[in-house]
Structure 1
Amino acid sequence: MTGRPTDMTIKSAPTLLWMRRGLLAAFTILAVWLLVRLILALSAPSSLWTPVLVAGPAPVSAVATRTYDFTYNPFAAGDSVGETVVSVDTGDDAPETTLNLQLKGLRSGENGTAFIRTPDGQEDNVYIGEEIMPGVFLRGVFPSHALIDVNGQTQRLTTEDAKAARNRASSSQSAASSPRSGLQTIRSADATALLSQIQIIPSFDLDMTRNGVMVKPRTSAVDLSAFGLRDGDIITRFAGQSVVSGLPDIGALRRSAGSGQPVTVDLIRDGQTMTITIGSSS
């Protein structure tokens, strides 16, 4: 009796068989799905993921929520509505003061100050509106000068650097206005010897405009002073021939120098134009 299967054993055998078949089918489907994914990963990787869509910015309304006032033009030269133009007198036409005052330093601006030395040797930092000395008040401070009120008259007090720059500019204008500020006659040297002992180098102004040829000695033994010249002189005309534009005609210069007649040379020395005569027989 123990060797015969029971009714429970006979009934459970088909159930186990169907369970095995179900598991086998599930594993088969899973294997097929994994195989398909593997094939897609090798052939078309981009198809395995779905791009994430990011929401764009909200559309801008056609009607602006901010309003602007275009009645005011900040770039207009004083004709805007409600704009007040303040004219600042810098005292450019005011005379330079004759008082024994020295402007040692300054800080320009609305609340500017000036460091001033008075005739008694005292130095003090003076603010606009303050009294410098009896009857003299500081009226304004600007980058290169200060304005002072001397018994009701406006006068300038200029810094020493600005005075020096103005004097240099005046000297340059005076030199430019006098085309020939000097005349020298050299009798001891020969013009032909001059051409054989100097180098002629083109010379240019700061704006690269040709202004003549510069004179340089060929050797250290050459004494240019025997010809009335200095190292660095700029010749503009030699024996009536201009050497400012183009190359000088050396042959014509030598013929002029060898004629036995005095040769006139126009040159620029230290910013001043002068004329010398080489080879005068008198």
Structure 2
Amino acid sequence: MLTAFTATMRDRAAAVSGRLRHLPAAPRSPLTLLEYLLLALLAVQVARLLWAVVTPVGPYGAWTGRQAVIADAGARQALFSRFDPFFRAPDSGASSSPVVTSLALTVFGIRVNEGSGQGSAIIATPDGVQNSYAVGDEIMPGVILKSVAFDHVLIDRGGAQESVFLDQSVAAPVASPDGSAPSASPVPSAVSSAQAAQGITAAAVKSDIGFAPRLENGKVTGLVLSPKGPAFQTAGFARGDIVTQINGRPIGSAADLQALQTQIAPGARISLMVERGATTVPIALTLQGS
């Protein structure tokens, strides 16, 4: 009986196999072909990446980074012989300092703004009329104020630079021994004031010179100076002087008074711009040890 059952199952399997053999083959989907192509491309890229990683650079040529180009000793010597990188000398074609002008101009006051590099000056023209000129203004036909410095101004006269120094013909007034007020005299020059202030001590400045803020429209615009001792006049100040700048910085708040008090110390050098009537006078204080 077992043999008959096995033969029957064999016959049925052969019949099913024959039927499947006669079925038409299923068509391949285009999507399947695209997936095969993408897989093949991915495999190629992975192989190239592995090849680039394991292959040394040598077969593609000797690769080196950028190298500094160093000139030879002769070229370097010729280069540094043309200029000094540490001590720049002025151009040999230009004069070391402008010549003093031959025009009848007189400088009575200079105001320097070190923050902006600009400034102004009170200059008297040959007719004796004094006016305040800012940098770039025309003083007279063909003469322009080019720049201002501590004790002189530069003018442009037809393309040539010439200098005009402060009027130094009058010395600073000297205090009388009996304490009386000095006789009326013209405004002392800034150079004389600077020279007279070299022997003042910091303690004398603090004790002999009074400072009070000047208010204009509720804003501090300067420091009013008042005499309290002989150092006031020795420094070159006059009664009614108003300090408007300290070391080139305009006074704009009460904190500037505190800053000035802090700077008054032995050995300090303080540059002040003083408003004296209708003129502006620079005064330099060089304080000695107490």
Output the TM-score relative to the length of structure 2.
0.30
Output the TM-score relative to the length of structure 1.
0.31
The structure with the largest alpha-carbon Rg is 1
Higher relative contact order (CA 8 A, sep 6+): 2
